[in-house]
Chains A and B, each alone.
Chain A
Amino acid sequence: MRFEGTERYIATKDLQVAVNAAITLEKPLLIKGEPGTGKTMLAHEVAGALKVPLNTWYVKSTTTAQQGLYEYDAVSRLRDSQLGDPKVQEVKNYIKPGILWRSFTADMPTVLLIDEIDKADIEFPNDLLLELDKMEFFVYETGEVIRAKQRPIVVITSNNEKELPDAFLRRCFFHYIRFPDKETMAEIVKVHYPDLHESLMREAMEVFFQFREVQGLKKKPSTSELLDWIKLLMVENIPADVLANLDLSKELPPLFGAMLKNEQDVHAFERLRFMQRRL
C-alpha cells in the first residue's frame, strides 16, 4: 500500500514520505498545519486511495479517551432492572463500543482519523498511549481484551492549541503541512475546478496571494478559503478582467467575505488602504 496523492488531493513529496512511513511501520501519523490546509482531507483521501473505510473521531473539549474505547450505559441498565427486563442479566448489553473498538475489530484494515486532538483536555493524548501503541485495551465490566485484528492506519490532526505530551509524540510520525506555494496551489485549484477558466484562475490566485501578504491579519485566508472564493466567483460569473483591474489599495475584491472571516481583518484591510492613500 503506497499513497501518492489522489485525483482530488495533491500531496507534496514530503507528505507522501510521511504517510507511507506511517502506513509501513503501523504508527500513528500526527498532522499539523495552518487551518484550511487540508489536514482532515488527508485522512479521507488516504482512505479513498487505499480503498478502505474511514472511521472518524471528532474530538471536542469534553471528549474523553474512554468514549473512544467504549461506554457503559449504567442508567439504562438501572432502568431495565427496575422494569424487570431480562436483558439486565448480561452486562454486555450495556457496553457500547466506541470508535477505537470498531476500528480494531473491523474485518478489513481501516483508516482511523482522530480529528483535532488538541481540542480535548490536556491529558487526553496520554490516556490513549497504550491503546495506540499496543492497539488493544481492556474492558473492565466484562473482563475481555479487545485487540486489533488489523492495525488501523491512524491519522491525528492538531491545530496547535495545546502542546501534546512528549510520550505521545514519541509514538507518532509527524508532518507539518506548509502553506502551499503558488504552483502547488494552482494544481490544487485545478483538481477541484477542472473547468475553471485559465485567466480567471490566474487573476484570482494573484489577488489571493496579495491578500495573504497583508500584514496583521488575524486569520490569513488559506486553501479552503481560496477554493470557496473561486467557487463563488464562478457561480456569480465574475469575469477575469474585474480581478485584473482590481486595485487592492482602493477596494476590496468582490465577494471578499469568503476570504476575510472577521471584522477586525476587514478593518485591518481598510486601515491599510487608508494609509496607502495618504502616501
Chain B
Amino acid sequence: MFQDFFYQLREGGVPVTLKEYLAFLGALDQRVIEPDVEQFYFLARTALVKDERFFDAFDKTFGAFFKGIEKFFSLKVEEIPREWLDGPLRRLFSAEELAKIKAQGSWKALMEAFVKMREEQQARHQGGNRRIGTGGKAPFGQAGMNPRGLRAGEEGKRLEQGIKVWEKREYQNLSAETHINTRNIKLVLKRLRRFTREGADEELDIDGTIRETARNGAMFDVEMRPSRKNRVKVLLFFDIGGSMAPHIKRCEQLFTSSRTEFKHLETYYFHNCIYEFVWRDSEKGGGKLKTYDILHKFNRDYRVIIVGDASMSPYEIMQVGGSVDHFNDEPGINWLTRLRDSFPHMVWLNPEPPEQWEFVESIGMIRTFFGHRMYPLTLDGLHQAMTLLRRTSHVPIPVAR
C-alpha cells in the first residue's frame, strides 16, 4: 500500500531496502503506533532511514508524497545569513547561475535581485501556501542550490501541531558532506592503512605458542613473530596556486590528518600544474626539488594523492611556456604523464564541488587524462579515493588520447 512511497524514497536518494520496508509494514501491522499522522511519520522515519544525513531527503519525500508540499520557501533580505554574502558563494550556485551573476555586477546587487525573484515566486504561490517556521529556512532546496553546511535554526522547535514536523526540515544541516572535520578525515584515511608483519620476530605469538605447545604434548614451545606495522607509503602533492585560496581550510585539515596516518608520507607543493620542479615548503620558493628526482627516488608502491582544483588555463597544461610563473620547457601534460606512469596508484582530490567540474575545461582534461580518478574533497569522495588506493593490484589507468 505504500509501495509508491517506497520507490519515491529511493528516487529521492534515501537508500531504503526491502527489508526495512517490510519491517515498517510489520510495525504498522502490529499497531506500534496510534492512528496519528505524526506518529506515522516518526515510525516511518525510524524504520526506513538509518542515517541522520538522509533525514532531510526523507522529510522532503514524505512531504511531497503525503501532502504535495509547496515547492518554494519564503526568504527575506534580512534573513540571508551574513556568510552567504561574504563567504564562498560559488558553492551555492551552479556555474550557469554564476555566469548570470557576473553579468549582473556586484554580489550584493545580485543577491537582492535574487531575493526579489524569490519573493515574486512566493507571491504567486501565496494561495494556500504555508509559511515554514524559522526551523526551515530552506530557500534553495528546490532550485538546485543547496546551502549545505549552513546552520539554519539549529536549536530546533518543539514538535508542535500546526506546522507539520517534516515540513520543518530540521535535519537539513545534517545532510551529507557537512560533517567534514579532522577526525572524520582521519577515520577515512585510516582505511588506507595496511598492516603487515615484516622483519624481525619481536612479539610473542600467544595463539601460535598455545597451538605449538598443544602439539608438543603440553611442553612449552614459545613462538615469536614480527609485530604488525603500517606500511603504507604516500606521496602527497598539494596545489598552492591562487585559485586554491578558498579551499585552504579543508586542505589544511586533510593535511594535518594525513600526517599521522601513514608510515611514510612525503609532501610536495606545486602551483596549478606539476612541471619540472616542485617545492618542499608551502612558502613558494622554499626547498625546490626536481620532479625527476621524485620519480626516480620512490618506487611504484607509493600511493600518490594530488590535491588541487585543476582549474587553470588549458595552456598551462598543453603548451610549452604555458606556466604562469616561469618558462617551462615541456608542457605540463608531459610531467603528468610521467607521474601517471611512475605511480599507478594515484588519485586526484578536487576541492571544487563536482557539479562545477564540467564547466571548467582544464578539470575535464585532467579528469580524462587520469581515467576519471578525480574525487571531490568530501568525506564521500575521500572514501571512494581511499578504496581505490587500497587495492593491492595495479589497476591500470585507461590511457586517454
Contacts and interface: CB of A to CB of B under 8 A. Distances in A.
A21 B32 contact: yes
Given A166-B15, A176-B55, A21 B46 contact: yes
B51 to A, nearest CB: 7
A146 interface: no
Nearest to B20: A170
Contacts of B43: 17-18, 21
Interface in B1-36: 15, 17, 19-20, 23, 26-27, 30, 32-33
Given A14-B45, A166-B15, A170-B19, A30 B155 contact: no
Contacts of A162: 187
Contacts, number: 90
Interface stretch (B156-164, B249-257, B304-312): B156-164
Given A21-B27, A78-B218, A160-B179, A174 B17 contact: no
Interface stretch (A41-49, A178-186, A238-246, A271-279): A178-186
Contact of B158 (A17, A82, A181): A181
A20 interface: yes
Given A13-B42, A174-B51, A82 B218 contact: yes
Interface in B180-224: 183, 187, 191, 206, 210, 213-214, 218
B350 to A, nearest CB: 22
Secondary structure of the A contact surface, majority rule:
helix
Interface residues of B, number: 41
Nearest to A184: B158
Interface string A140-182: 0000000000000000000011100010011111111011111
A13 B30 contact: no
Interface residues of A, number: 40
Interface of A: 12-14, 17-18, 20-22, 24-25, 27, 30, 32, 74-75, 78, 81-82, 122, 160-162, 166, 169-176, 178-184, 209, 212
21 contacts: A14-B42, A14-B46, A17-B39, A17-B43, A20-B33, A21-B33, A21-B46, A25-B30, A27-B23, A30-B50, A78-B213, A81-B218, A160-B179, A166-B50, A170-B50, A171-B19, A174-B50, A176-B171, A179-B156, A182-B155, A184-B158
Interface of B: 15, 17, 19-20, 23, 26-27, 30, 32-33, 38-39, 42-43, 45-47, 49-52, 55, 154-159, 165, 170-171, 174, 179, 183, 187, 191, 206, 210, 213-214, 218
